[in-house]
Amino acid sequence: MASLKLLLTLALALAPHINSVEGISCFSCTGSCASQKPQKCPDGETCISVKTIVNKNGVVNFESYKGCAGTSLCPSPGPKNFSINFGTESVLGRAECCDENNCNGAEASSPEIPGPGSLQCFRCDPLTNNCNTSLNCSVLETGCFQSTLTPSDSMVSGPAHGCSSVNLCSALGPS
Ligand X SMILES: *[C@@H]1O[C@H](CO)[C@@H](O)[C@H](O)[C@H]1NC(C)=O
**Cβ proximity to ligand X, 22 vs 112, nearer residue:** 112
Q: What's the 3-state SS for the chain?
A: CCCHHHHHHHHHHCCCCCCCCCCCEEEEEEECCCCCEEEECCCCCEEEEEEEEEEECCEEEEEEEEEEECCCCCCCCEEEEEEEECCCEEEEEEEEEECCCCCCCCCCCCCCCCCEEEEEEEECCCCCCCCCEEEEEECCCCEEEEEEECCCCCCCCEEEEEEECHHHHHHHCCC
**Cβ proximity to ligand X, 99 vs 125, nearer residue:** 125
**Cβ proximity to ligand X, 5 vs 94, nearer residue:** 94
Rounded least distance, CB 96 to ligand X, Å = 11
Q: Give yes or no for a contact between 118 and 126, defined as CB atoms under 8 angstroms apart.
A: no
**Cβ proximity to ligand X, 24 vs 63, nearer residue:** 63
Rounded least distance, CB 1 to ligand X, Å = 18
Q: How far apart are CA 57 and CA 68, in angstroms?
A: 29
**Cβ proximity to ligand X, 28 vs 138, nearer residue:** 138
Q: Which residues are at the interface with ligand X (CB under 6 A)?
A: 81, 94, 111-112, 130, 132, 136, 140
